[in-house]
Structure 1
């Protein structure tokens, strides 16, 4: 009868005496409680290699830098040297602070106005210098092209907007198309001098109220 011993962390030593007898020592002690000891190497097959996890696939890049604002239409460009801060138009009177050569572009569509028509007001703000302002409604953020009814230069004023089409041809009203996104662009600027009106090194402030 065979006995199979698996000895962990033990030194097994076999020595043959002059009479031909084999004696087994385990950890320096003579081991006699056996008939036959069979030392078997582990010849079982190695486990199959595990395939490494595939490299993660990067999601496709988002073409819109800011998911909170509408994508900028093709063909729009920002005037050289002007930094444009984009945000959705607020629902309540809101303070905006901008420095020299900065502008605010507030996105909106007809859903922001009951009946598809309303006004966007801008005004002086005591939280900082609030000099002359230039405001333009455009289909591009940062666009300050003068358009009848859609642009104003003032300290305090408003632009009337209409998506219904009932005021086409009225130079006092900015007529817009339903289903299109527009931007209310505003900065501190003096059209007569042709330069930014915010003092160098200052943070100028203004109010916008839809």
Structure 2
């Protein structure tokens, strides 16, 4: 496992992607890889501060355009401070969310702003993952699970089931559009079974 890779996990809220990202990091580490497990928004000190701005408070706290700018700012700091240094050091970076989330959450569901998202990504980020796992799950089940966490970071869950269903279709379309990078994983199964399937990509 000497080749650095940038691997991301995506999916709707409550889909289990965070658990699977952690399990995959553990699996790679057990095989001798030097792994960094990180998340978005967050993953660096500045990005973690922005995380509190975008994931807490009233659902209508920010316009979609402001959200895009905030997420892009957090991603840029994450890229500079965490992702790029780790990759240059030969480490494998596993991130719970990356640019695909902004493409779906803000670009496809908050007023068809995908072109804006893509322009900002090109200008400020300019990097795609080597591999992306998209955990697909029934939106009603995922929403119930997400709200049950009561994490205090429930702003997007508070948009309701219709929003989560729209998100799911956005991620499915993304997987179809990028088959060389994205692997669609059925998340409506036991955690161990899902982890076993993903571990095959180690």
TM-score normalized by structure 2? 0.23
User: Greater strand share, 1 or 2?
Assistant: 1
Q: Which has the higher contact order (CA 8 A, sep 6+)?
A: 2
